[in-house]
Amino acid sequence: MKKLVLGTLLSLGLMACMPPLPELVTLPDVELPVVSEETVVWNSADYKGKPVLVVFMGSWCPWCKKTMPAVMEVANEFGDQVEIVAVFMDGDATPVKKAIKEHKFTVKAAHNGGELAQALQVQGLPHSILFDKKHRAVASWDGYSPERANDYRTALQQLTK
């Protein structure tokens, strides 16, 4: 009996010393206005059961603009299997419209993404998060890289097998 009590106390003591597990990041249900000629809202809940790549950007951000071709490349390749959306921090659609027109950006672009970025603890731009079919974060990328399209492609290939 003493061994059982001692073993239980030892186990509880070890568990108390262990750091807590990191919280699983998930895509919350969110609605964001889409930059378009019509009033359109992007709703993350509409894509339950489908992977989602969210790329946080700013219309003023030069590194975000350099990331746009990589986002378009994977959207052309995986767009039927994965929901891909650029979420701009801009509260106003006007500068976003100008940036996407200037860079011929054809991927769905939403704006007013500050609250979503805060909820997902986005620290800088561009920042990309890939969510699986259950909308759990499975990969993320900070900043610009000339290899970003390959980074996205590798993760998307694994997710869409």
53: CATH: 3.40.30.10
pLDDT of residue 23: 57
Residue 13 lies in a domain: no
Instruction: Evaluate if residue 160 carries a pLDDT over 50.
Output: yes
Give the Cβ contact number of residue 111 at 10 Å: 25
Q: Mean per-residue pLDDT for 39-55?
A: 96
Identify which has the larger pLDDT, 18 or 83: 83
Asked whether residue 17 carries a pLDDT value surpassing 80, the answer given is no
Q: Measure CA 150 to chain center.
A: 16
Residue 131 has pLDDT above 80, yes or no: yes
Instruction: Assess whether pLDDT exceeds 80 at residue 76.
Output: yes
Assess if residue 5 is contained within a domain. Answer: no
Whether 53 is covered by a domain: the verdict is: yes
Q: Count structural domains, the chain.
A: 1
DSSP 91: S
User: Who wins on pLDDT, 3 or 77?
Assistant: 77
Q: List residues bridging with 130 in a β-sheet.
A: 53, 139
User: Would the pLDDT of 22 be above 50?
Assistant: no
What confidence score (pLDDT) does residue 14 get?
40
Q: Is residue 8 part of a domain?
A: no
Checking if the pLDDT of 20 tops 50, the result is no
43 pLDDT higher than 90: yes
SS3 27: coil
Residue 19 binned pLDDT confidence (cut-offs 50, 70, 90): very low
Count of H-run helices and E-run strands, the chain: 5, 7
For residue 7, being part of any structural domain is answered with no
Mean pLDDT (the chain) is 88
Is residue 18 situated within a structural domain? no
pTM, full prediction? 0.85
- The answer to whether residue 44 sits within a structural domain is yes
- Mean pLDDT for the stretch of residues 28-53: 95
In a domain, 48, yes or no: yes
* Structural domain for 73, as ranges: 23-159
Above 80 in pLDDT, residue 5? Answer: no
Q: How does pLDDT run across 102-125, given as a tens digit for each residue?
A: 999 999 999 999 999 999 999 999
CA distance 27 to 1: 48
SS3 155: helix
